[in-house]
Amino acid sequence: MKIKSAEFVMSNSDVEKCPKSRLPEYAFIGRSNVGKSSLINMLTDRKSLAKTSGRPGKTQLINHFLINKNWHLVDLPGYGYARVSKSSKKTFQSFITQYFKSREQLVTAFVLVDIRHDPQPIDLEFMQWLGENGIPFSIIFTKADKLKPKAIERHVADYKTILLESWEDMPNYFITSSSNGIGQEEVLTYIDTLTENMDLDSH
C-alpha cells in the first residue's frame, strides 16, 4: 500500500463524537514514550502527522486521521490506570475502554511495545483486557534499531514465553523502527489486506 493522502480529521475525548463514517479503523495504542507518534509518522511517510513530543503522555485525546480516503488511523492516548471507587480496583481510563467497546468500525488494534524492555505488567494486562473483550490486536515492537538481531529474537521469545502462559497462540506481531523504516511495508500490507477483505459498501 502506498500512502497517497493522510489528513487529520478530529481530536476528542468523547467516543460519541468520533467520526460517524463506516470506514474501517485501525487503532494504535501503547504506554507513554513507546514511540507511537514516530511510528505513525513513519508509516504514513509524513514528518509531523502525529505530534512527537519529548514530554510523555502528550496524546490525551482520540485522534483520527483519514488515510487514502478509505480508512482511519486512530492515535489513542497511552493507557494508564484510573483508580475506581473505594476498593482499590484499577481500570484503564474509561474513554479508552469505551472506545474499544463501542467502535464497531474498529478492525484491529496495534499495541505498541518497546522491544528493549522486558515484558511490562501494564502491557500484558492491556492485551489480556483486549482478549477478554474479544478485540483483535497485533503487537508492534518499536525501536528495533536499538538492538542487534539476536537481542530482538531473544526479547520476542521472552514475550512468547509469557503470553503463551495465558494465550493459545502468540498474537500477530511486527518488528519496527521509526528511524530506519523497518516494518513499514509489513504493517501497511497487513492493514491493506484486512481493509480489502471488508465489505465497505455499508458506509
Q: What is the pLDDT of residues 129-150, one digit of tens each?
A: 999 999 999 999 999 999 999 9
For the stretch 58-91, what's the b/e string if a residue is b when 16 or more beta carbons lie within 10 angstroms of its beta carbon? bbeebbbbbbeeebbbbbbbbbeeeeeeeeeeee
Number of domains in the chain: 1
Q: What is the pLDDT of residues 82-110, one digit of tens each?
A: 776 666 677 788 888 999 999 999 999 99
Residue 131 structural domain: 6-202
Instruction: Give the global pTM.
Output: 0.91
Q: How far apart, in whole angstroms, are the C-alpha atoms of residue 107 and residue 24?
A: 6
* Domain annotation covers residue 141: yes
The CATH code of the domain that includes 99 is 3.40.50.300
